[in-house]
Amino acid sequence: MADEKPKEETFTFPKTFDKCPHCGSTRSFVEVALKKEMERAGAKDIPVLMSAECTYARGLFPIRLVALFEVCWDCGGPYAAALMKFVGASPSMGGNGPGRLQRPR
């Protein structure tokens, strides 16, 4: 029993969160604030408010981890909207700034 390997947990990306973990609201600051403008433009992609990323470059394929953040309209709490992992993306892809990231649905 002691030498039995524990079953490895599998992780799927992107991992998305569609509501505020603090109050349960589904209304985000960006969606509320840009609702009219996005409807007028027929836009479907929601702009990303904040993002953070790190690149793990040891090995053949650099791995880039990106977290997108939202702010809840109802309670103001910040939370992660999406956690993403890119394998093989060059670290020089730094030009792919927060404004151009797409929030997965």
CA-based end-to-end distance of the chain: 42
**Taking CA 53 as the corner, what is the angle to CA 58 and CA 14, rounded to the nearest 5 degrees?**
95
CB of 16 to Zn ion, least distance (A): 16
Q: Which is nearer to Zn ion, 13 or 29 (CB)?
A: 29
Residues paired with residue 71 on neighbouring β-strands, in sequence order: 78
- Binding-site ranges for Zn ion (CB under 5 A): 20, 22-23, 25, 72, 74-75, 77
Q: Which is nearer to Zn ion, 16 or 55 (CB)?
A: 16
CB of 64 to Zn ion, least distance (A): 29
Query: Is the distance from CB of 59 to CB of 81 less than 8 angstroms?
Result: no
CB of 27 to Zn ion, least distance (A): 8
